[in-house]
Chain A
Amino acid sequence: MRNTLTLICIFALLGANAQEKRIDFVEYDLDNGLHVILHQDNSTPIVNVSVLYHVGSKNEPDGRTGFAHFFEHLMFEGSPNIERGSFFKIIQNAGGQLNANTSFDRTFYYETLPSHQLELGLYMESERMLHAKIDSTGVATQKEVVKEEKRTRIDNQPYMSFQAKIFGKAYEGTPYSWTPIGSFEDIDAATDQDFKDFFDTFYVPNNATLSIAGDIQIEETKKLIDKYFAEIPKGTKNIPRPEIKAPDLGGEVREEVFDNVQLPGVFQAYRMAEQGSDDYYAMQMLTTLLSGGQSSRFQKEIVDNQELAAFVGSFPFALEDGGLFISLGLVNVGKTPEELEEAMMTEIERVKTEDISDREFQKLKNQIENNFVSSNSTVRGIAESLADYHVYYGDANLINSEIDRYMAVTKEDIKRVAKKYLTPDNRVTLYYLPKSAQQKPEDEKLDDQ
C-alpha cells in the first residue's frame, strides 16, 4: 500500500517536471511534402536552421558506397546564385556557424545564426534543396577533400578502422555492412549522371524535414518558409527504403588487427534490436549499468580495482533497422587483451545471473533522467532532436516523453536483454595489436651482429 503511494507520488512528480520544462513546437507539411517543425525560444537572439534528409549510407546502391556522405560535401559547393566556395563565408560573415553530418540512416545540415539572419539561413538551405550545384568541377574537388578526410579521420587514426571492420562482419550481405565514409573506388567510379540521379531521388522536399529552433516568431517564420521552400518541386522518383534483415552470424567472428596503436584494444560488438524498440531502451539502461560514470561496473572493477585497462566502456550504436551493442577497452601496460576480455565477460555474465540491487537500479534511473534532461540544452540540439524523433519514430513529441519509455524498463528486462543479445554467437570480437609487435620479429635491426 505504501509502495503504491510512493509510486504515484513519483509519477506525479515526473509529470509535473515534464510539463514545466516542456519543449513546445508546431509542425506541418508544405504541399511539396516538406515537413516543418518550429520551436520558439526567445531567450537568446540566436536561431538554428536545420534540414534533415532521410538518406544515409544504407540507401546507397551497390558499388556506390560513400555516396550519401559525398553528397554532404557537394551540398556546400553552392548553387546558381551562390558562388563556389562562398557558402561558408556567407554564413560566417553573418556571424553564424554551420556544419553537417552523415550517418547510416540520414544526413543532417545546420546553421546557427543571430536571429535577425533567420531569412539568410532559410535562403541558403532552400538554394541547395532547389538546385545545388552538381557539376564535374565540384565533384572533382570534393573527391580529393573527402579522401583527405578519410585519411585524417579514419586511416590515420589509431583503432578507427574498427567501425568498418565490425559492421562489415556483423552485417555482412546487407547495406549496413559498409560505413558512411564508403570506399574511394566507388566514389571514383561514379559518373556525373549517378550524382544527378541520387540528388533527384533523395534531395527532394518530400524526403526532408526542416527543423528550426530559437528566437523566432512562428507566423512570420511560416511565411518566410513559404517564400523560399514552397516553389521547390516535389520529387517524382520512388524513394527506396531497404529493409535490413541480417542472417544469423552462425557463431562468433574473431579477428586480430595490427594497427598504429600504442595500447592493445579489445572491441566486441553484439547485434541488437533497432532503436526505439522496448529492448533498445533496456540496452540503454544496460550500458549505463556497465559503463555510466566512475562507479559503473566496468570502471570500478576493470579500471580501478584490477587496473587491467586504461579505458573501458560500452555504447549501443543503435540504428533505424538494428545496430550494434559495442563494448571496448584499451589494455593497460603489462596486461594482456585476453585478461581484459575475460574481465569484461565476467561483468556481462554477472548481469545475466545476478539481480541488480534496488539502489543500483535507482542509480541507473537517476543517471538516465539526468542525461535526458541535459540533452536538449541548446537550440541546435533541440532542432536536431525534433527532426530525429519525427523521422525515426514519427513522433516529435518524444522530445518530451521518451523518458517514460526508459522508466518502464525493469530490472528483469535488463537481465533478459543481456541474455538475449550479449551471447558469443551474436558477437564480433576484434583485437587491436600494436604494429610494432607484429613487425618486431621481422625487423632487420634485430639481426644485427
Chain B
Amino acid sequence: MKLKNILTLILTFGIVGAFAQVDRSKLPEPATPRPINIGDYESFELKNGLKVFIIENHKLPRVSFNLLVDREAILEADKAGYLGMVGQLMQRGTETRTKEQIDEEVDFIGASLFAGSTNVFASGLSKYSEKILELMTDVAFNPTFPEEELEKIRKQTLSGLAQAKDNPGAIAGNLNQALVYGANHPYGEIQTEETTNNILIDDLKSYHATYFKPNISYLAIVGDVDVKKMKKMVKTYFGSWEAGEVPTPTYDTPKSPEKTKVGIVNRASSVQSVVNITYPAILPVGSDDEIKVRVMNQILGGSFSGKLNMNLREDKGYTYGSRSSLSSDELVSRFNANADVRNEVTDSAIVQMIYELNQMRNGEITEEELELAKNSIAGSFSQSLERPQTVANFALNTAIYNLSADYYNTYLQKVQAVTIDDVKAIAQKYLKPDNAYINVVGKASEVAESLKQFGELTYYDTYGNEVDPSLSKLPEGLTAEDVIEKYLKAIGGKEKIEALNSVQMKMEASMMGNTINIEATKMAPNKSIQVVKMGGNVVQKQVFDGEKGASSGMRGSQKVEGDAAKDMAVSSAIIEEVAMMEIGISIKLSAVENIDGSDAYGVEVSMPSGKKSTRYYDSESGLLVRTTNVVEGPTGAMTLSTDYNNYEEFEGIKFPTLIIQPMGSQKMNINVTEVIVNGDVDASKFLVE
C-alpha cells in the first residue's frame, strides 16, 4: 500500500519534468472511481390518485412530461391491433383543436408531443412549461377520435401488414408469440388484416374512457423547473381529472413445454433459416435473480463478444450474428436465442446454440468473460445517468414495481458481486434447452427432416396456426415430367398445342397512376415481340427472331446474344414447356406449396444460361399458377413471384387472364384484354437489326 503511494508520487513528480519518459508499454492504471450519484427527486400524490415525480435538473432550460397509464395487459381478441391506434388518433383531434391546430401550436413553441395507448409524452423549453402542459392534457383528456382519421391510419396499417407477410423475421415473431404465450394471452395475440378491419372507432373511444384514469397513472416531470410552481401547475391541469375503477384482468401464466418441441413455418423460397430457441420464464422486475440473469445473458449472448456470436459467427461462420435475451416482466418473461443461418447448416447451428446453453449450465465460464460482461453493464449504467430521464425511469420503476428504495443505488455493487458460481446457478435455473420451443422459418424440403432430432416437429402457417404437414408432401413417384405433361393436357392437349401458329395478346395494367399497355405476339416455333407503352409512349420493346434478340428501353437498346439468347429461345415459344421438353432443359420436382388455399407442385427449371426459376402447377387442375425466381434485394436474397389466375379458353387453349406481378412491396395486376390465336401476323415484325 505504502509502496504504491510512493510509486504514484514518483510518477506524478515525473510528469512535471520536461523530459518525462512515459511508459507506453502498458495501459495506464485507472484512478479511484468517483461515486455514482443518482439524482434526487420529489414525489407527491394528487387527491385523484395521480402519482407525480419531479426531477429537477437545471443543466439545460428544458422540460419533459411523461404521463404513464399503468394498466394491466389487455386482450384485444378479434380486434388485435386496436391499442396501437389509440395514441395516433388522440393526436388527431380534440374537442377544441383539429389535428392541424395541435400540430401548429406544438411547433410554434418548438415542442414535441407524442401519445400512445399507455402514455403521453411532451417536451420543450422550460419557459413554455404551462403551454406544453395545456396541449398535452388536451390530447390526453379530450380526444374526439375522428372517424376519417381512423380510416387513414387503417390504410397505412394494412399496407404494413401486407409487407410483413413475406418477411421471415415477422413470421418468426408471430410463431414465437403464438407458441410461447398462446392466443389467449395478451402477449400472444397477432394482428391480421381481419382483426385490423374489425376495429371500430368506438373501440378506441371506450378504451380511452375506461383506462385513462389518474388512480392508475404516474406523471414524471424532468428538467428545468421550480418544484413549488410545478406542483401548482400540476394541480391545475391534472387536479380535475376524475378517478374511476379500472378492470384488472388476470391471466394464466404460460408454461414451458414438457419436452423440447420443434415448430416450422415452411417458406419454400428461403435461402436462410430463421432460428429461435424460446420459452416463457418467470422473472419479475426487481426480483433477486434479475441482475444475475442480466450478467448471465450478457455472457451468453448479450453482445458481439457473447458466447453464441463467438461460436456461430466468429468460429463457425454460420451466421452474421447470434444473440440471446431475457428481460424482466411483471406478467411473464421470455427467453430467446436466435440466429439466421444458411439452410444447410440449420441443424448444426441449433446443435451449437444448445451446446452454448449447456456450457453456461455447466459453469464453463472464464473470469475474463465475467469481467468483460460486468464492466460493459457498469459502463452503460453510468453513461445512462447523464440523461436526467434515467433518474425519472428509476423513480417510476421503484414506485410501479415496489422496488427497495436503494435498488438502483446499489445496482452496480450487485453487478460486481456476481460470481461464476452465481452465473452457473442462474443458468441452471433459467436456461432450459430441454423444455424449449425450437422455431424455424425456412425451406421445409431442405431443413425439416434434420430438425426431428431435436423434438416432435409441427408445421405452422405465417400467423402461428397449426397446419397439416401431409399437405406439404410430394406424392411418391411423382416426377417433374408428370407435372408438365398434366399441365399440357390441362391447357388443351398436344393436338391443340401443335396446331398453334401464333398468339397475339393485349394486356393492361396501372402503375403509379399511369396506364400501361402491353402487346405480346408470338409465332411458332419461337419468334416473339413485346411492346410496352406507358401513356401512349413506347417505354420497352423486346424482340426475338428465333436466333437472336434485342431489347430497348429507358436504358437504351441492347442485343440479346449468347446464353441470354438461348434462354429467350425457350421463353419465346408459344408454350414454354413444349420448348423446355424439346431441348431437354434440366427440370426437377422441388416442393409442394400451398398457393391461395390449394397445393401446387414446384418444378425447378435450370435455363441454358444457368438461371434458375421455379414453376408451380396446381395439384388438381394441373395449370401453371405461379413462377418464382430469387433476386438480390436490399436485405439479401428475396423471392419474386408472379401469379397466373382466371384461365379462359381461346380456340381450345387455356390462357391466364389475370397476371399478378410484384412491384416493390406492392402487387401489380395485369389484365389480359384480348387474345387472338392463329390470327394474321406479319413475320417481318420479328426482324432484329
Contacts and interface: CB of A to CB of B under 8 A. Distances in A.
A373 B60 contact: yes
Contacts of B99: 304
Given A261-B664, A436-B664, A92 B542 contact: no
B379 A446 contact: no
Contact of A336 (B60, B100, B507, B513): B513
B378 A95 contact: yes
B528 A447 contact: yes
Interface in B655-676: 655-656, 659, 661-666, 668, 670
Interface string A284-307: 000000001111100110001000
B28 interface: yes
A191 interface: no
A260 B572 contact: no
Nearest to A374: B62
A114 B30 CA distance: 10
Interface residues of B, number: 96
A194 interface: no
A141 interface: no
Contacts of B507: 446
A293 B375 CA distance: 40
25 contacts: A43-B59, A45-B35, A93-B371, A97-B380, A115-B34, A119-B28, A119-B30, A215-B34, A231-B22, A256-B554, A260-B634, A261-B664, A293-B107, A367-B107, A370-B125, A371-B110, A378-B386, A434-B663, A436-B663, A436-B664, A437-B512, A437-B663, A438-B554, A443-B642, A446-B520
Contact of B386 (A44, A227, A440, A449): A44
B512 A335 contact: yes
Contacts of A136: none
B25 A81 contact: yes
A223 interface: yes
Given A94-B30, A115-B34, A447-B522, A334 B512 contact: yes
B574 interface: yes
B382 A223 contact: no
Contacts of B513: 334-336, 339
Interface string B87-120: 0000000000001100110111111000000000
Interface of B: 15-16, 20, 22, 24-36, 59-62, 99-100, 103-104, 106-111, 124-125, 159, 163, 305, 371-372, 375-376, 378-380, 382-383, 385-387, 491, 503, 505, 507, 511-514, 518, 520, 522, 528, 530, 532, 539-540, 542, 551, 553-555, 567-568, 571-572, 574-576, 624, 627, 633-635, 640, 642, 644, 653, 655-656, 659, 661-666, 668, 670
A95 B34 contact: no
A442 B542 contact: yes
B97 to A, nearest CB: 12
The interface centre, meaning the residue of A20, A95, A156, A224 with most chain B CB atoms within 10 A of its CB, is A95
Nearest to B377: A95
A207 interface: no
A264 interface: yes
Contacts, number: 236
A158 B664 CA distance: 11
Contacts of A44: 382, 385-386
Contacts of A295: 100, 103-104, 106-108
B162 to A, nearest CB: 11
A333 B666 CA distance: 9
Nearest to B374: A95
Nearest to A366: B110
A34 to B, nearest CB: 15
A335 B554 CA distance: 20
B28 A442 contact: no
A203 B670 CA distance: 60
Contacts of B505: 449
A377 B666 contact: no
A228 B30 contact: no
The interface centre, meaning the residue of B35, B103, B107, B382 with most chain A CB atoms within 10 A of its CB, is B107
A89 B506 CA distance: 64
A120 interface: yes
Nearest to B540: A441
A304 B159 CA distance: 18
Contacts of A43: 59
Given A373-B62, A448-B627, A379 B379 contact: no
B665 A262 contact: yes
B571 A444 contact: yes
A116 B378 contact: no
Nearest to B21: A231
A20 B106 contact: no
B153 to A, nearest CB: 13
B555 A438 contact: yes
A206 B642 CA distance: 62
Contacts of B34: 45, 115-116, 215
